[in-house]
Amino acid sequence: MALNIVEKIDKKVKINHILISVSDKTGLDHLIPGLIAINPGIRIYSTGGTYTRIKEILKGDVNKTLIQVSEYTGQPEMQGGLVKTLDFKIYLGLLSETYNEAHTNDLKRTNAVAIDMVVCNLYPFTETIAKSGVTPEHARGNIDIGGPCMVRAAAKNFLRVASVTDPDDYEQILGELQSEDGYLTLRTRQKLAAKAFTHTARYDKAISDYFNSIAFEKIESCYVSSPDK
């Protein structure tokens, strides 16, 4: 398969469509009003508890600003929230390129939008395994799947998309959007991408270290009810 080589991009990208799904909701009460103040026409796509929190911040006046991912994709969440954002329309929106005609045709064909920013931090795996009495099932349940996929897709396509993983960066991002009339620069997108890949690498290493260190007997005793099955 031939690589998709990009030869033309925009140094500054207007932030019109944002996907937000965070475990740590710190700073959303500052980020959301700030984004809307800079671009009143912005569209925010969200899931689960994040959607509920943003709706609270907007005092229920979501109008066309806040859209549930399940409404956008046409697919309800899997029981337990196991699948929420793993959908073709989401990744088409994250990985599409501005000047690629085939990509823009795909967006039109599926009635999808190009997502300009992902704001995502992951399930608290490290915090969970640090608790007293934690079981392998508690640990397993806090392995994020959709989050790292979104973060990595956005970071891979930093040529057009901003991948935001740290609430401490919200203020700087809002500052640049304010000074650049709603645009983010390539320099900022590249820095955010590097930080995003560091974030997911550390997350995966924590999971790997945990399952390499835990005794099989502890796993077995957590799940296996009968030695005959």
- Among 154, 4, 6, 11, CA closest to 90: 154
What's the pLDDT at 224?
Answer: 67
- Average pLDDT over the chain reads 91
7 occurs within a structural domain:
no
Q: Please indicate, yes or no, if residue 5 is contained in any of the structural domains.
A: no
Instruction: Say what the pTM is.
Output: 0.90
Q: Specify which of 5-19, 67-81, 205-219 reaches the highest per-range mean pLDDT.
A: 5-19
188 vs 98 pLDDT, higher one: 188
Which candidate, 54, 55, 47, places its Cα nearest to that of 72?
Answer: 47
Alpha carbon distance 84, 69 (integer Å): 7
Banded model confidence at residue 222, pLDDT cuts 50, 70, 90 = confident
Q: Is residue 228 part of a domain?
A: no
Q: Is the pLDDT of residue 14 over 80?
A: yes
Grade residue 24 by pLDDT with cuts at 50, 70 and 90. very high
pLDDT score of 228 more than 60? no
Closest CA to 73 of 108, 113, 102: 113
In a domain, 6, yes or no: no
Residue 145 has pLDDT above 70, yes or no: yes
Count the domains in the chain: 1
pLDDT at 229 over 60: no
CA distances from 168 to 25, 33, 78, 136, 224 (A): 12, 16, 31, 31, 43
pLDDT band at 152 (very low <50, low <70, confident <90, very high): very high
Give domain status of residue 31, yes or no: yes
In a domain, 229, yes or no: no
**CATH number of the domain that 61 lies in?**
3.40.50.1380
pLDDT per residue over 84-139, tens digit each? Answer: 677 899 999 999 998 999 999 999 999 999 999 999 998 788 888 889 888 888 88
Whether pLDDT at 175 is above 90: yes
Q: Count other C-beta atoms under 10 Å from residue 208's C-beta.
A: 10
Nearest-10 Cα torsion for 143, 17, 32, 38: 150
The parent domain of residue 78 ranges over: 12-222
User: Given this model, what pLDDT does residue 159 score?
Assistant: 96
